[in-house]
């Protein structure tokens, strides 16, 4: 059973909605054999597909941020000078550079524990348990500045 060509307005929709059109066509073929209310099912399928698209977009952002942070961490691992500029990390949920990110490893030591340090750890989705020293070490490791601080 070949799917009918999509209506002109459907051709401009994202591919996932065109897939929904084909799924609805298949459901219409099944309809005589199964007691389904196709109209309600169409809305439900489109709602599910929209929800899936939102989740995929959020995952794409997270993956891009994790990849960017991995590259930044690798670059920061090669820095040995405490006054050298660090490559800033990106927030996991937005993939935007973290505001007020410490410019150098010296700045990490000077971060205010309650405001800046906690804010950066939240944006990196790192745990917040432990005292100020534990949080600072967690940030140092996540930034990749371990050669600077511990050598």
pLDDT tens digit at each of 151 positions of the chain: 454 454 444 444 455 555 566 666 666 655 555 555 556 677 788 888 888 888 888 888 999 999 999 999 999 998 888 888 999 999 999 999 998 899 998 888 888 877 788 899 999 999 988 888 888 899 999 998 887 654 4
Q: Tell me the two tokens of residue 21.
A: 């059109």
Which pLDDT value is given to residue 37?
56
Question: CA separation (Å) from 22 to 33, 56, 70, 92, 111?
Answer: 18, 20, 39, 35, 55
Residue with tokens 């927030």: 91
């Amino acid at each position: 059973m070949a799917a009918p060509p999509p209506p002109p307005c459907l051709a401009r929709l994202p591919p996932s909605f065109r897939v929904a059109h084909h799924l609805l066509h298949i459901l219409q073929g099944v309809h005589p054999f199964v007691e389904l209310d196709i109209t309600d099912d169409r809305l439900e399928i489109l709602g599910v597909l929209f929800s899936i698209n939102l989740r995929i977009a959020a995952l794409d952002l997270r993956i891009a941020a994790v990849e960017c942070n991995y590259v930044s961490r690798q670059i920061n691992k090669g820095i040995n000078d405490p006054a050298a500029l660090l490559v800033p990390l990106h927030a996991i949920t937005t993939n935007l550079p973290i505001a007020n990110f410490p410019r150098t490893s010296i700045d990490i030591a000077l971060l205010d524990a309650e405001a800046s340090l906690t804010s950066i750890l939240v944006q990196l989705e790192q745990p917040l348990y432990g005292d100020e020293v534990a949080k600072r070490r967690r940030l140092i490791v996540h930034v990749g500045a371990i050669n600077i601080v511990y050598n």
